[in-house]
Structure 1
Amino acid sequence: MNKPTEAELEILSLLWQLKEASVRQIHERLAAVKDTGYTTTLKIMQIMHAKGMVERDEASRTHIYRPLVKQGDTQKSLLKNLMTTAFGGSTSTLVMQALGQEKPSKAEIDEIRAFLDNLENDNA
């Protein structure tokens, strides 16, 4: 799988949420949070299509894009790369750094604890 650039990942995140969208729909959402031009969004989405990250339905005048890469697969790949390059392959260092950035809510701590309990039970 091609590692998406930061701009491609922003677009993929929106497509994963929306399931499908036109360039205009994606651009409007991006423009709400950052200064970007329509032609830039269009060009990035065309590149993503050429790379096989998205498919494009050209049946109507307005092309509709859908993600071809799965969110979970992309996240796993990016996380594995980050863990290897930035944290020397250490899961604990990565998790400690992530949890130290912002104070997790009680619900998030409970969710993490349940996940760890399941991991422990699976390895027992």
Structure 2
Amino acid sequence: MMNIKPTESELEILQVLWNKGNCTVRDVHEELTKTKDAGYTTTLKLMQIMHDKGLVTRDSSAKTHIYQAAFSEQQAQKTALDKIITTVFKGSAAELVMQALGNHKASKDEIDAIKDYLKKFE
């Protein structure tokens, strides 16, 4: 699998693409401006860089280019999590889980879902 290392700004753009599917630069830009100040040319340049890096694909057959994420949100999460487990938690997934559950109040539904998931490994 490719080495996925998006910056924070690139991750914001990927979130839009994962949520909305195929988008033009304008579509992405309009979504970004709902939550932050972003210049259109900045969004355009970022998306061009992301295309060069292989983070997004671009359909150039129409007058307006259509972009889509080159990988799924789940793939990005797995890559980021693998890196965190390896570097921060010395390879221990259990340490990561205990730290996460100790620092964040999980709802009863979340705890139940985790228990159900763990039963698969017994």
Settle same-fold status: TM greater than 0.5.
yes
For residues 119 and 6 of structure 1, the distance between their equivalents in structure 2, rounded to whole angstroms, comes to 34
Question: Normalising by structure 1, what TM-score?
Answer: 0.86
1:26 aligned to which of 25, 28, 32 = 28
Aligned with 2:7 (options 5, 8, 17): 5
Which runs of 5 or more residues in structure 2 are unaligned?
Answer: none
Structure 1 outlier segments of 4+, above 6 Å: none
* AA of the residue aligned to 1:95: V
Equivalent residue pairs, number:
120
**SS of the residue aligned with 1:61?**
coil
DSSP 3-state at the match of 1:43 = helix
Q: CA deviation at 1:59?
A: 2.6
The equivalent position to 1:36 in structure 2, one of 35, 38, 56, is 38
**What stretches of structure 1 of length at least 5 have no aligned partner?**
none
Deviation, 1:100, is 2.7
Look up the match of 1:119.
121
Classify 1:37/1:100 alpha carbon distance in 2 versus 1 (closer, same or farther; 3 Å).
farther
- Counterpart of 1:106? 108
Equivalents in 1 of 2:40, 2:63: separation in Å?
17
**2:50 — aligned with what?**
48
Q: Secondary structure at the match of 2:68?
A: strand
The Cα shift of 1:65 comes to 0.4
Instruction: Quote the offset at 1:101 in angstroms.
Output: 3.2
Deviation of 1:44 (Å): 1.1
Aligned-residue offset at 1:45: 0.7
The amino acid that maps onto 2:32 is: L
- Structure that is richer in helix per residue: 1
Letter in 2 for 1:47: I
